[in-house]
Structure 1
């Protein structure tokens, strides 16, 4: 496993990675940035997850990867940005669960980022380099085949397989009270958030009143405003790349206390990290949360439940039903075999292709036929793999440089 410290560093064309990361994060909460950087020091994959902007900064402007059909991409696609979520139709889906960086871009941008994350994951798993490249090729082949077929679908329990099928079956059996019990405490039949100074932090009364007022005002525009009656609010600490931005967990009345309350995620959205490197024209969005919400509506068969974009305090926020972190597949050495990993990668490739196809022909995206034709052309697959293999070496060097600089600061 590659970890912080111990390796000699080479100069990265006189570019200070630590300065670039600090500049990107300059408007975020300092105390949460300490947590973000601690997470990023875990391994090269964690560093890659937390530094999406570096990946696109490094992507050559003249790369053949930029010639692929434009689609609505996730933008920050990696192994850990897939998970289960409950859709508007209340069915549980397994799919891409983070569109913060979404933008109109060549479909290969999502593909190559996922392949890089796969090769980096091998550092922490009991597999070798050949296994990593095999997994990458499985992803590329499955993505191309799914595009070529041109069929748009989604992964649900009925068609899932392997560990994804097991995950969705477990979630179907989970009671709402189980989820609530993990994050709340009961006080005379009324639930309150469980502040643990780790995942849920207390907020000031002033901030509580402000966020509550925003939710209350928005609720009045909904068909059932009483559903969104606020019971408690805390600051939510989750993810890696977005740590340091405003994010709240909101407990609302839902369908009744104490066991039919709902938990909402209320997350600040900012301009996509890909925006400076975008190719072609982008739609003009009212604010970043509108972009994220609209892209999810464009590319997902059923977007997450209770999805809404809200602007206040000169910022924009995405509201949605809380997606627990345990609703993801744990890619840990003791928990996943090579066979399971192959199955998972195959499913992720299908999901990526479904997502790109579902958004085809919408707001400037290439047509479905253009994507079908692209899937049938095999030339780009080796180009993606070659670039990913070479770039992994750069990420590992950047990771070691970051570890040394962030610890010595």
Structure 2
């Protein structure tokens, strides 16, 4: 079980030890596993999860943002802050490190799972399975690392509260959305706790079946249907058409700075070596890490045409993200790959280092155990710069039936349905990688835990608004650069 919090400082070997230590004692038979979950309440009573009290030295949380920005592409930092400045919700999406540092001071049951690490509602969505079925699941794994399952739950449920505020919903609607989210997680975990291990592993949230179920139960979701229709059109050929053009008969990425910049237009990367060589090297090493059948598919796309730097997301702005344009049978048979830099997980300083050698492999291996089914071309790569710095990356198809829920325009039922599905997906990730019986038993048969999480979500959403004000003041004062 958890030994609780220990001081954050240097260990005997000079390496910083994490303040949260998960020392779970595993049991093998169902009765003991459920008993262990119940006993865990002694360490972290259910009601204790409602508490949120800022630490006395919390005032300079912006230091954490600046710490992240210091190792990213500097010319993109003003864009990062601009995207975060749109609303308290976009700010929240870019502050996973701040929340991780706050959660490190909260109670944990000690039951470990493979955490998503940044499990906010916008990081769940639609993608295409290898069987060409659309499924709903987690779709962002940059921060994944083994850790406390409660942290993922609190980040997700809080994001629902913040998103609902952003949409201008009244208090009753916001409370309903948050309650439905945690109830879905709780009920789903209870179901997984009763299932055989392989049944848990193969469970998935088929989007079409979910839409039919919602309609049958009088909960039609125009928001989800819209996302499905968009996802069906997103593949590599459409990506090549959207982001590329023919130049003298040769496919090239079009220039749309700062969002998309072909590598022959980029400046300031000389210290990393010729970009074309860098990207080809990353690609070759990525292929070496794939299973033979995946390499065979990739080898069929034998023509390399172009590469560019792409800006993605909110929290990821400033990380190095490359896209490669390849073709197979002819130029109309395109494959667009994304090669994204993998940084240190925001959880690492609080729960310890990954057991994998590189952060690219950490992301990929974490995704494979969390996600119902992953991109067949998912892999990792890395290289060392001329200055001796190792850069880690992971690789996937840029578009693989990937569809995001339009949270900016979703109605009440759209947000609530998305919250329910996201909670199911999160519970599934935790059940696949942790002890579903222990977690289910820990939460119990009543709504004590659920109510505590609802209370926490409201309190931390208030804290997020205060942090957002500090962030905006820092932009106005000139401390933080912001693109106009």
Q: Provide the secondary structure at the position in 2 that maps to 1:251.
A: strand
- Give structure 1 stretches of 5+ with no counterpart: 1-10, 360-365
Corresponding residue of 1:5: none
Corresponding residue of 1:330: 406
Contact between 1:306 and 1:320, CA under 8 Å: does it hold in 2? yes
Question: In 2, distance between residues paired with 1:227 and 1:87?
Answer: 20
Question: In 2, distance between residues paired with 1:142 and 1:218?
Answer: 38
Deviates more, 1:33-42 or 1:301-310: 301-310
Contact between 1:147 and 1:375, CA under 8 Å: does it hold in 2? no
**Matched residues, number:** 387
Shift in Å, 1:144: 0.6
Q: Does 1:214 align with 2:282?
A: yes
Corresponding residue of 1:4: none
Distance 1:207 1:51, change over 3 A: same
Q: Deviations over 1:345-366 (max 9, x none)?
A: 111111111121122xxxxxx3
Out of 5, 21, 26, the residue aligned to residue 70 of structure 2 is: 26
Out of 122, 128, 134, the residue aligned to residue 176 of structure 2 is: 134
Question: In 2, distance between residues paired with 1:23 and 1:297?
Answer: 29
Distance 1:179 1:218, change over 3 A: closer
Corresponding residue of 1:317: 393
Q: Does 1:390 align with 2:466?
A: no
Contact between 2:319 and 2:341, CA under 8 Å: does it hold in 1? yes
Contact between 2:236 and 2:399, CA under 8 Å: does it hold in 1? no
Corresponding residue of 2:338: 265
Question: In 1, distance between residues paired with 2:165 and 2:401?
Answer: 22
Distance 1:194 1:160, change over 3 A: farther
Contact between 1:237 and 1:243, CA under 8 Å: does it hold in 2? yes
Distance 1:121 1:174, change over 3 A: closer
Shift in Å, 1:50: 0.8
Q: Does 1:248 align with 2:322?
A: yes
Out of 355, 372, 378, the residue aligned to residue 429 of structure 2 is: 355
Q: Deviations over 1:353-400 (max 9, x none)?
A: 1121122xxxxxx32322343454443222222222111111111111
Shift in Å, 1:15: 2.0
Shift in Å, 1:210: 1.8
Give the TM-score of the pair, scaled to structure 2: 0.74
Q: Provide the secondary structure at the position in 2 that maps to 1:15.
A: helix
1:50-89 equivalent positions in 2, closer than 5 A = 50-59=94-103, 61=105, 63-64=106-107, 66-67=108-109, 69-89=111-131
Corresponding residue of 2:143: 101
Question: In 2, distance between residues paired with 1:250 and 1:124?
Answer: 36
Contact between 1:73 and 1:104, CA under 8 Å: does it hold in 2? yes
Question: In 2, distance between residues paired with 1:72 and 1:92?
Answer: 24
Question: In 2, distance between residues paired with 1:283 and 1:122?
Answer: 34
Q: Does 1:237 align with 2:311?
A: yes
Question: In 2, distance between residues paired with 1:46 and 1:296?
Answer: 24
Question: In 1, distance between residues paired with 2:97 and 2:187?
Answer: 30
Question: In 2, distance between residues paired with 1:175 and 1:285?
Answer: 31
Aligned Cα RMSD in Å?
2.5
Question: In 1, distance between residues paired with 2:348 and 2:303?
Answer: 36
Q: Deviations over 1:250-279 (max 9, x none)?
A: 1112x333222111110010110111111x
Corresponding residue of 1:158: 208
For the pair shown, the structure with the greater C-alpha radius of gyration is: 2
Corresponding residue of 1:379: 448
Distance 1:119 1:86, change over 3 A: same
Question: In 1, distance between residues paired with 2:426 and 2:181?
Answer: 10
Corresponding residue of 1:405: 474
Q: Provide the secondary structure at the position in 2 that maps to 1:185.
A: strand
Give the TM-score of the pair, scaled to structure 1: 0.87
Question: In 2, distance between residues paired with 1:172 and 1:24?
Answer: 35
Out of 375, 385, 392, the residue aligned to residue 304 of structure 1 is: 375
Out of 119, 134, 153, the residue aligned to residue 111 of structure 1 is: 153
Deviates more, 1:122-131 or 1:264-273: 122-131
